[in-house]
Structure 1
Amino acid sequence: MSELTPLMKQYFSIKERHGDAIVLFRCGDFYEMFGEDAEKASKILQIALTTREKSRDNPLPMCGVPFFAAESYIAKLIKAGKKVAVCEQMEDPKEAKGIVAREVVRIITPGTHSPENPKENTYIISVFPHGQRHGITAADISTGEFIVFETLENIEDEVGRFEPKEVLMPASIKENIHYQEALSSFYLSAVDDWLFDYTEAYRTLLGHFRVSSLEGYGCEGLTAAISSAGALISYLENTQKDVRFKKITTLKQNANMFLDASTQRNLELVHNLRDGSRDGTLLQVLDETLTPMGGRFLRSALLRPLTDTGEITARYAAVEYLAGDFERLEELRTLMRKVQDIERLASRVSSGTANARDLVAIKNSLEVLPKIKRSLSLSKEYVLKELSGKIGEFALLRELIERSIVDSPPPGVRDGGIIKDGFSDEIDSLREISTKGKGFIAEMEQREKKRTGISSLKIGYNRIFGYYIEVTKTNLELVPDDYSRKQTLVGSERFVTAELKEYESKVIGSEERLKNLEYEVFRCVVESVREESDGLMATANAIASIDFLASLAVTAKRYNYVRPSLADAPLIDIVDGRHPVLERVLSHERFVPNSTFCDTADSMLHIITGPNMAGKSTYMRQVALIVLMAQIGSFVPASSATIGISDRIFTRIGASDFLAKGQSTFMVEMIEAANIMNNATSDSLIILDEVGRGTSTFDGISIAWAIAEHIVNVIKARTLFATHYNELTELALALEGVKNYNVSVREWGDEIIFLRKIEEGPGDKSYGIQVARLAGIPQSIIKRSKEVLHNLEKEELNETGNPKLASGKGKKRGVQLDLFSSVGESIANEIMNIDTERLSPEGALAKIIELKKKAKF
């Protein structure tokens, strides 16, 4: 360190304390980065890498970005998974004696950086394990949300439904393989375990929220949740310049439908399966919101549907009223287009990070609030009237900002130019001196020339002597008595007058004083706004609800949705249901509606057969999406719908692997199935697509059969079960509550026509070869497939187990390794080989029942 330049000594001292972050080191108008930070940042930001002197003959890599454009560069670094420490100059370089004092004012992490999409929350989550439970805290510093709860559910699913940008955990569990796997898709930050100590955490929360007890927030006694919350507050207070949350929201687990990560993904609620964007998602279809708050409300509603019928019914009533009153709906939407992100603006004011532009944005939003409030108060709908009462008008605050802040202020708050003329006499005086100084000096110079008769007289200024009047030595006899000598030069003398001294005392440093005074006045205005921040937050929440309801009304009217009815029992009765997303994107064919009736008695488990591409998966997702839409308070795409509340929706769809965890396609399939079997209740909705396809035919049929039986006999949940195992259709003969359905197709020679219609009864064929032909499989393969299929159907096999047409071409097959015993395989063989052509249906059923008893199914 002794060989380093003074600036580099300062830099490396700061870098040593923030080694895991890229340090943005403020030097004048730039943020500079050095060493490894510069090498990493230059690649991410695509900026030039240069060098500067670290010590004699030792250059150091360096790059930099302009301070006024830093936010866009910081966003890129955060997106690349980096932490950023912002190091500011803490004094004016002009007044510094030696190296300018610098310090890190905030550390920006993925969970503390505002997102590019204002309709998304930026959650940072804290996780703390305590026995069988996990305490979880989710916070968004940009909106002021602070949510705590405890759970026994899968930690990956609980964390995943908030889509956090960062997850905080005790350092002692970061290397735990369970947490590494469960949270591998999130940015992880480990902190000292002592921050999660219950006593320390409780004390931290009391201090932050300035209360004497947590009882008022409903989280008293939630040991794990309080531990996670206290640690998160400590982390945020240490990394941010100022952070302030107003209240704790304790999440009640039974108030919302729980959607695990697999279900969110499979139903494509907010991200599609293709590229993870919102294109082709339910969010895209329903999002007609006009404010960032409304957009975030809708997103949250989709990921946490309601289970309380009273709340859901209230939303239906409001949506119905708005959809039926076109003029009021359009009036509200026209006004809401002018409302900016009050929630985040108020949060910035509370945390002390608001600038003048933020105040102008608040003022512009406040101007339309009285009109929104009046429009809602005139409605005849209870929920809208109630929301009207939650909207403040803030007349005095609006008038204060209007009088004090210029309409188009600069981005910085210390550079002046933000306070309007006429708001402060002192500012007006300094501004006049600062802006009119040159004119005053020129006017005084002309006046003094005329008064003294010295035509060569001039008034000047330097930093050492200040202002002076300079007279050549040949004119000294003309100098008036009120001139005081200040400096003698070779060919002239310099003088001052009382008037010039008075002016100098005013003008010297006037610009700096003006900037400082404007900043002080600005802070006073901000403080006045801060006093109203609770009301602004409440208003923002009300606007979010209104925007959300108006969005649902627009989609209901535009897409011909209907108001669902809620049933007290587990029931789904949908007439002419449509897939809300696919009906919007289909351009080459008309969407075919389908009806569904499912209960927990006679029509509990639907076995759905039919060829690939016929629409089985689409139909099942459609039912799940209609149920979910009904439980967020939305109207649904159908002619009519009666929905019983679901506590959870489970989905097991498609084939995927997770090789990083050593999990094959079949293992992933079984893990998802196990989650459903262990957690579904009679109030759940289960969607199963192709269970058992990842292993041998006999194993797959056996597993699928046993899972179906377990659902009917034990769980008793409404279930849609699509399969290519036509053998499962026999379940309808053996179990009460099982019904067969198929997606109808029509054959035309070698062609198949997909009718997209769900019909009662089992499917007779899979049409796999026809689908393969449509996919572009070479004709020679198609022809050979038909020959092999013909032989297989005729059971024309040779002693090696191959079709006779393949004699001599294949090697003897090895023994199939099954998950089940040879007895189970034997029984499965017998079931599959029942000669249904010789036996009557009754005889076949009797044979199946006999074999089932033999196998003790």
Structure 2
Amino acid sequence: MFFDDAKIASRILDIALTARQNDVPMCGIPYHAAESYIARLIKAGKRVAVCEQLESVPSAGSSIVKRDVVRVITPGTVIESNLLGSDDNNFLCSIYITKKEMGMAFVDVSTGDFFYLTADKNMEIFRGEIAKYSPKEAIIYAQSYETDTIFTEFIKSRNIPVHTLNEWHYEKEYMTEMICQTLSTHNLAGLGIESDIEIITAGSILQYLRDTHKTVFGHLKNPMKLASRDTMMLDEATISNLEIVENQQDGTRNRTLFSVLNNTKTPMGRRTLERNLLQPLVLRSKIDERLDLVDFFYQRAELAEEITIHLKEILDMERILSRFTIGKIQPRNFIAMKQSISASMKIKKIIHDCTIDNSMLTPLYEEFSDLSSLGETINTVIDDDPALSPEHGRVIKPGYLPELDKLYELKSDAKQWILKFQEDEKVRLGINTLRVKYNKILGYYIEISKGQSERAPKEYFRKQTLVGAERYTTEELQKFESDILGAADKITDIERREIEKLRLQIIEKSREIQMTASSVGYLDFICSLSISAILNRFVKPVINDNNYISIKNGRHPVVEKYYTKEVFIPNDILLDDSGNIINIITGPNMSGKSTYIRMCAILQLMAQTGSFLPVESADLSIADRIFTRIGASDNISRGESTFLVEMNETANILNNATDRSLCMGSCRVYSPLYKSENTFCHTLS
């Protein structure tokens, strides 16, 4: 690395900064340890261009070996396990803002997830979507970056690296072509992408992926439109105040609603749980359907346990598939895919057996693709314990290719041939110190000490003279070397050919693998909710259409689970559109007012996620939005005082709440003698 790149990298990586001619700053890292250094640069929000040599010798008429950038690694486009670091989604976000509208797209290239939305130019919606998806990198139209500073400043306040794109990335015709080519379609209407802003937002993020990875992605799922009528939109304040997936102390999953409900066994299940907690359902039919599915496994704990045993055997099928598609694979990825397919097919059979007596599971069963033949093919081709690569050892299973087996046999016999040749020469020449050795420069050679070198026969050809020894070869040894090295090259070529053939077979089944992975994730999510209900004594809620919330002996799930020094005292909640439209709660500090209103909001969210509740009984109507205005704190990074934060959150409620919204808030009352905090629970009508 040179110039400013060298200065930045040396500081981040804590490596020496040197200089070349004319005081050009320079630094470097060992090639064999590049991944660990790249990971640190990515964590710091930097983009890393990887340049490789593309030919072993210079092209005709050139004295320079051709090199080029083969990939640009960025925080939002990584697929390597050591760079991802967790099972969480790793979203890249694309933002396009006009005078009245805004478009956003989110892609996780490591899993294939692809979401997009268009909405009125609204800061609260923008903040809510960023909080929900927590992108690791954002790309934005350069002009919007300069003019719509309120949006870009918010992104930067969350320490999200931002990269601007020029105007040509936002040409509608070119973006249309980009989407069609990437997603193998001829009509965007079939994908639901219709408006100009949707085309531009979705197309620009695909173009950026092609620019960085230098390839077209065939594993991306069809884009799903967000902000639909099926799910609830949560704003940033609600996600934070309710500590749904991150706590407010250190930003981790500890002591959150997610941690209470997380009994998932697969990475897909964990991502599905998080996604559904942040997108509660708003259609009664969908909520009841999910509650019934959870209840099915709740009533059949042994069945849920049997399924979870097989779920534990399933690895991250979505991310493994992405490596096959991009070509960044290792032989162990085949074993991981084979193991995951085998376990998922066992689960498919279990679900099929259940559908004989109960049709409730039929839709779920039908989402499991039949991947049995693909699993059997991988098992036939790939060795059960493959080497890291064909260069390191055997990858293709013995017995699959007779030609390959013969070459391996020749290679394995080589050691015995060398030992026999060495002993025969010792006896024939009477030189006990004679040795047959090998190195990458000379190949195979015979080494005789200086004192014995006069006894070397005329058929020995000298290869190298050392201070204390002479090194020779013979026609017989040269022929052996040619055969052995030729066999090694042939083995590598054959194994690489078979690996590539199998990789392409897996890519052909990309959609089926994605469907199965999604089904595994959803089933894992459902089983997790049922296990949580069993472990925590949760009860199935009743959903009504009457704008009526009645909870008997409700408990805060997080407080009850993690704060065990004292017994949590259950509380009742009654809200309706007649005499109980608003509840006002007063009391001294630390008396539990905020805990109470958080409990009410969390129970509502859990019910609309499809979870059972920590209650004696619950009868709830459906909220189209949940708003919270709890606690008081400033936000210095955005230049917002405590008062401004409170007013912004209150304004958001007043501007966006409807007659079906559940609103929770607290406000401070000041007087010359005391300060206290009052809270309210409110359903609007």
Shorter-chain TM-score range: 0.7 to 0.9
- For structure 1, list consecutive stretches of 5 or more residues without a partner in the other structure: 1-32, 712-716, 720-736, 738-857
Corresponding residue number in structure 1 for 2:136: 165
What is the rounded CA distance, in whole Å, between the counterparts of 1:581 and 1:495 in structure 2?
76
Q: Describe the superposition over 1:33-67 as per-residue Cα deviations: whole angstroms up to 9, x where unpaired.
A: 55544543344345x4264x734x85854242453
What is the rounded CA distance, in whole Å, between the counterparts of 1:465 and 1:257 in structure 2?
70
Q: Describe the superposition over 1:244-287 as per-residue Cα deviations: whole angstroms up to 9, x where unpaired.
A: 32422233522111100111011111111111111111011111
CA deviation after TM superposition for structure 1 residue 658, in Å: 2.6
CA deviation after TM superposition for structure 1 residue 510, in Å: 4.0
Q: Describe the superposition over 1:568-613 as per-residue Cα deviations: whole angstroms up to 9, x where unpaired.
A: 1322111111111111122222111111111122211112211111
Corresponding residue number in structure 2 for 1:407: 384
- Once the two structures are superposed, the pairs formed by residues 469-618 of structure 1 within 5 Å of their partners are 503-618=480-595
Say if 2:9 is the partner of 1:41: yes
Which of 28, 31, 50 is the matching residue for 1:86?
50
What is the rounded CA distance, in whole Å, between the counterparts of 2:118 and 2:91 in structure 1?
17
- Once the two structures are superposed, the pairs formed by residues 266-665 of structure 1 within 5 Å of their partners are 266-379=241-354, 380-412=357-389, 415-444=392-421, 503-665=480-642
Rate the CA distance shift 1:126–1:696 in 2: closer, same or farther, 3 A: farther
What is the rounded CA distance, in whole Å, between the counterparts of 1:593 and 1:463 in structure 2?
75
What is the rounded CA distance, in whole Å, between the counterparts of 1:668 and 1:326 in structure 2?
46
What is the rounded CA distance, in whole Å, between the counterparts of 2:593 and 2:462 in structure 1?
98
- Once the two structures are superposed, the pairs formed by residues 828-843 of structure 1 within 5 Å of their partners are none
Q: Describe the superposition over 1:223-258 as per-residue Cα deviations: whole angstroms up to 9, x where unpaired.
A: 211111111111100101433324222335221111
Answer yes or no: is the 8 Å Cα contact 1:35–1:62 preserved in 2: no
CA deviation after TM superposition for structure 1 residue 212, in Å: 1.2
Q: Describe the superposition over 1:745-783 as per-residue Cα deviations: whole angstroms up to 9, x where unpaired.
A: xxxxxxxxxxxxxxxxxxxxxxxxxxxxxxxxxxxxxxx
Matched AA of 1:158: E
What is the rounded CA distance, in whole Å, between the counterparts of 1:648 and 1:673 in structure 2?
14
Answer yes or no: is the 8 Å Cα contact 1:195–1:231 preserved in 2: yes
Equivalent residue pairs, number? 659
**Higher Cα Rg, which structure:** 1
Say if 2:228 is the partner of 1:228: no
Corresponding residue number in structure 1 for 2:73: 108
Corresponding residue number in structure 1 for 2:27: 62
Matched AA of 2:126: I
Q: What's the secondary structure of 1:651's corresponding residue?
A: strand
Q: What's the secondary structure of 1:613's corresponding residue?
A: coil
Counting aligned pairs with the same residue, the percent is 35
Answer yes or no: is the 8 Å Cα contact 1:124–1:138 preserved in 2: yes
Q: What's the secondary structure of 1:335's corresponding residue?
A: helix
What is the rounded CA distance, in whole Å, between the counterparts of 1:678 and 1:167 in structure 2?
28
Corresponding residue number in structure 2 for 1:724: none
Matched AA of 2:170: F
Matched AA of 2:369: G
What is the rounded CA distance, in whole Å, between the counterparts of 1:116 and 1:168 in structure 2?
19
Which of 167, 181, 188 is the matching residue for 2:153?
181
Matched AA of 2:213: Q
Answer yes or no: is the 8 Å Cα contact 1:124–1:164 preserved in 2: yes
What is the rounded CA distance, in whole Å, between the counterparts of 1:661 and 1:607 in structure 2?
32
What is the rounded CA distance, in whole Å, between the counterparts of 1:230 and 1:594 in structure 2?
50
Rate the CA distance shift 1:402–1:661 in 2: closer, same or farther, 3 A: closer
Corresponding residue number in structure 2 for 1:211: 185
What is the rounded CA distance, in whole Å, between the counterparts of 1:465 and 1:120 in structure 2?
50
What is the rounded CA distance, in whole Å, between the counterparts of 2:488 and 2:25 in structure 1?
37
What is the rounded CA distance, in whole Å, between the counterparts of 1:71 and 1:560 in structure 2?
46
What is the rounded CA distance, in whole Å, between the counterparts of 2:41 and 2:112 in structure 1?
24
Matched AA of 1:202: T
Q: What's the secondary structure of 1:87's corresponding residue?
A: strand
Answer yes or no: is the 8 Å Cα contact 1:112–1:124 preserved in 2: yes
Q: What's the secondary structure of 1:269's corresponding residue?
A: coil
What is the rounded CA distance, in whole Å, between the counterparts of 1:508 and 1:147 in structure 2?
51
Corresponding residue number in structure 2 for 1:817: none
Rate the CA distance shift 1:429–1:590 in 2: closer, same or farther, 3 A: same
Answer yes or no: is the 8 Å Cα contact 1:473–1:493 preserved in 2: no
- Once the two structures are superposed, the pairs formed by residues 134-145 of structure 1 within 5 Å of their partners are 134-145=102-113
What is the rounded CA distance, in whole Å, between the counterparts of 2:36 and 2:339 in structure 1?
25
Rate the CA distance shift 1:459–1:125 in 2: closer, same or farther, 3 A: closer
What is the rounded CA distance, in whole Å, between the counterparts of 2:485 and 2:396 in structure 1?
21
CA deviation after TM superposition for structure 1 residue 349, in Å: 1.5
What is the rounded CA distance, in whole Å, between the counterparts of 1:236 and 1:462 in structure 2?
43
CA RMSD of aligned residues (A): 3.7
Corresponding residue number in structure 2 for 1:120: 88
CA deviation after TM superposition for structure 1 residue 102, in Å: 3.5
Q: Describe the superposition over 1:513-566 as per-residue Cα deviations: whole angstroms up to 9, x where unpaired.
A: 433332222111211222222111111111101110111001111111111111
What is the rounded CA distance, in whole Å, between the counterparts of 2:391 and 2:189 in structure 1?
42
What is the rounded CA distance, in whole Å, between the counterparts of 1:77 and 1:398 in structure 2?
38
CA deviation after TM superposition for structure 1 residue 105, in Å: 2.0
What is the rounded CA distance, in whole Å, between the counterparts of 2:650 and 2:5 in structure 1?
46
Q: What's the secondary structure of 2:246's corresponding residue?
A: coil
Matched AA of 2:44: A
What is the rounded CA distance, in whole Å, between the counterparts of 1:144 and 1:558 in structure 2?
33
Rate the CA distance shift 1:584–1:462 in 2: closer, same or farther, 3 A: closer
CA deviation after TM superposition for structure 1 residue 455, in Å: 6.2
Answer yes or no: is the 8 Å Cα contact 2:49–2:73 preserved in 1: yes
Rate the CA distance shift 1:271–1:430 in 2: closer, same or farther, 3 A: same
Q: Describe the superposition over 1:137-164 as per-residue Cα deviations: whole angstroms up to 9, x where unpaired.
A: 1111011111122122432223322111
What is the rounded CA distance, in whole Å, between the counterparts of 2:463 and 2:559 in structure 1?
90
Report the TM-score, using the length of structure 1 for normalisation: 0.70
Answer yes or no: is the 8 Å Cα contact 1:119–1:294 preserved in 2: no
Q: Describe the superposition over 1:309-345 as per-residue Cα deviations: whole angstroms up to 9, x where unpaired.
A: 1221111111111111121111111111111111211
Q: What's the secondary structure of 1:160's corresponding residue?
A: helix
- Once the two structures are superposed, the pairs formed by residues 234-245 of structure 1 within 5 Å of their partners are 234-242=207-215, 243-244=217-218, 245=220
What is the rounded CA distance, in whole Å, between the counterparts of 1:650 and 1:466 in structure 2?
74
What is the rounded CA distance, in whole Å, between the counterparts of 2:273 and 2:568 in structure 1?
26
CA deviation after TM superposition for structure 1 residue 462, in Å: 9.7
Q: What's the secondary structure of 2:133's corresponding residue?
A: coil
What is the rounded CA distance, in whole Å, between the counterparts of 1:411 and 1:361 in structure 2?
13
Rate the CA distance shift 1:469–1:355 in 2: closer, same or farther, 3 A: closer
Rate the CA distance shift 1:317–1:470 in 2: closer, same or farther, 3 A: closer
- Once the two structures are superposed, the pairs formed by residues 728-739 of structure 1 within 5 Å of their partners are none
Corresponding residue number in structure 1 for 2:37: 73
Range with bigger deviation, 280-289 or 90-99? 90-99
Q: What's the secondary structure of 2:27's corresponding residue?
A: strand
What is the rounded CA distance, in whole Å, between the counterparts of 1:555 and 1:34 in structure 2?
54
CA deviation after TM superposition for structure 1 residue 689, in Å: 0.6
What is the rounded CA distance, in whole Å, between the counterparts of 1:468 and 1:550 in structure 2?
64
CA deviation after TM superposition for structure 1 residue 434, in Å: 3.9
Matched AA of 2:623: S
What is the rounded CA distance, in whole Å, between the counterparts of 1:118 and 1:383 in structure 2?
33
Answer yes or no: is the 8 Å Cα contact 2:3–2:24 preserved in 1: no
Range with bigger deviation, 525-534 or 467-476? 467-476
Rate the CA distance shift 1:211–1:322 in 2: closer, same or farther, 3 A: same
Rate the CA distance shift 1:666–1:260 in 2: closer, same or farther, 3 A: same
